[in-house]
C-alpha cells in the first residue's frame, strides 16, 4: 500500500463550531498548508487526513469538517460517533460564536463519546484589532469545562499545526496511559475510545501562549 497508509493509530477528529468561524480553512491549513479567503460554505461534511508523528508513533488523523448552520445538525451529528477528538472553534472577533460554545458542548455530550478530547480554538487571531472575546474569558471557559485551549490564525498560519498536534498528542497520551495498545481497534473507521474522562490539566497547555 502507499506510504500514506503506514500508520500506528488512526484518530477520528471532528471540527465543530458556528458558521463562518474558519473551520474549513483550519483544516486546509493543517492538511495542505492552504488558505482560501473565498472558500465556499461547507455543505454537510467534508473530510481530510494527515499523518503526524508523536512519541515515535505515526498517527493518522482523519478529520471531519462539519457545516456550522443549525439545520445541518441532524446530518453532522452522525459524524461525532467514533470521534476521539474535537476542535471546538469560535471566532475571536465575533462574540456570538463564543456565546454559542455551550450549545456545541451540549451537542458533543448528546452525540459523541463521553471521553472525547476537546480543544477550544479561538480562530481569526489575525483580526486582533476587532477582538470581541478576551483571552482570559476563553481560558476561564476552557478551565470550567476541562478543555485545552489555544488561539490560532488559519490566515497567518499561526498555531494551527500546534492546535492539531496538541490535540492528537493528548489523545495519544490518554490512550497510552490507559494501556490501550490494541492498535486494531483504532485501525477501523470507528475506533472505540476507552479512556477516562479528560483529566489533563488544561492550564498546563495554557490558553493563548
Cβ closest to another protein, residue 19 vs residue 135: 19
Verify binding: residue 39, another protein, rule CB under 8 A. Answer: yes
Asked whether the beta carbons of 156 and 126 are under 8 A apart, the reply is: yes
Q: Which of 6, 41, 110, 181 binds another protein (CB under 8 A)?
A: 41
* Number of residues near another protein (by CB under 8 A): 22
β-sheet bridge partners, residue 62: 12, 49
> Minimum distance between the CB of residue 31 and another protein, rounded to whole angstroms?
10
Verify binding: residue 75, another protein, rule CB under 8 A. Answer: yes
Verify binding: residue 204, another protein, rule CB under 8 A. Answer: no
> Minimum distance between the CB of residue 121 and another protein, rounded to whole angstroms?
18
Verify binding: residue 16, another protein, rule CB under 8 A. Answer: no
Verify binding: residue 3, another protein, rule CB under 8 A. Answer: no
> What distance in Å separates the CA atoms of residue 160 and residue 113, rounded to the nearest whole number?
24
β-sheet bridge partners, residue 63: 13, 48
> Minimum distance between the CB of residue 17 and another protein, rounded to whole angstroms?
13
> Minimum distance between the CB of residue 84 and another protein, rounded to whole angstroms?
17
Cβ closest to another protein, residue 46 vs residue 161: 46
Q: How many CB atoms lie within 10 A of CB 38?
A: 4
Verify binding: residue 155, another protein, rule CB under 8 A. Answer: no
Verify binding: residue 51, another protein, rule CB under 8 A. Answer: no
Verify binding: residue 208, another protein, rule CB under 8 A. Answer: no
Cβ closest to another protein, residue 19 vs residue 115: 19
Q: How many CB atoms lie within 10 A of CB 170?
A: 20
- Residue 90: Cβ-neighbour burial (10 angstroms; 0-12, 13-18, 19+): buried
Tell whether the torsion through CA atoms of 42, 188, 201 and 209 is positive or negative. negative
Cβ closest to another protein, residue 100 vs residue 205: 100
Residues that bind another protein (CB under 8 A): 19-20, 38-41, 43-49, 62, 67, 69, 71-72, 74-75, 96, 189
Amino acid at each position: 500500500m502507499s506510504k500514506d497508509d503506514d500508520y500506528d493509530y488512526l484518530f477520528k477528529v471532528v471540527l465543530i463550531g458556528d458558521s463562518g468561524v474558519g473551520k474549513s480553512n483550519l483544516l486546509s491549513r493543517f492538511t495542505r498548508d492552504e488558505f482560501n479567503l473565498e472558500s465556499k460554505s461547507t455543505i454537510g461534511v467534508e473530510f481530510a487526513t494527515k499523518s503526524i508523528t508523536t512519541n515515535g508513533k505515526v498517527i493518522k488523523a482523519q478529520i471531519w469538517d462539519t457545516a456550522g448552520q443549525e439545520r445541518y445538525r441532524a446530518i453532522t451529528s452522525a459524524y461525532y460517533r467514533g470521534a476521539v477528538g474535537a476542535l471546538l472553534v469560535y471566532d475571536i472577533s465575533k462574540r456570538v460564536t463564543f456565546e454559542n460554545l455551550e450549545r456545541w458542548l451540549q451537542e458533543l455530550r448528546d452525540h459523541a463519546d463521553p471521553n472525547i478530547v476537546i480543544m477550544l480554538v479561538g480562530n481569526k487571531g489575525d483580526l486582533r484589532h476587532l477582538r470581541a472575546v478576551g483571552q482570559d474569558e476563553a481560558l476561564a471557559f476552557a478551565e470550567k469545562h476541562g478543555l485545552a485551549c489555544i488561539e490560532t490564525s488559519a490566515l497567518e498560519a499561526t498555531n494551527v499545526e500546534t492546535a492539531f498536534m496538541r490535540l492528537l498528542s493528548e489523545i495519544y497520551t490518554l490512550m497510552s496511559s490507559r494501556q490501550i495498545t490494541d492498535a486494531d481497534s483504532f485501525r477501523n473507521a470507528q475506533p472505540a475510545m476507552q479512556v477516562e474522562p479528560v483529566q489533563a490539566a488544561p492550564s498546563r497547555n495554557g490558553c493563548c501562549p
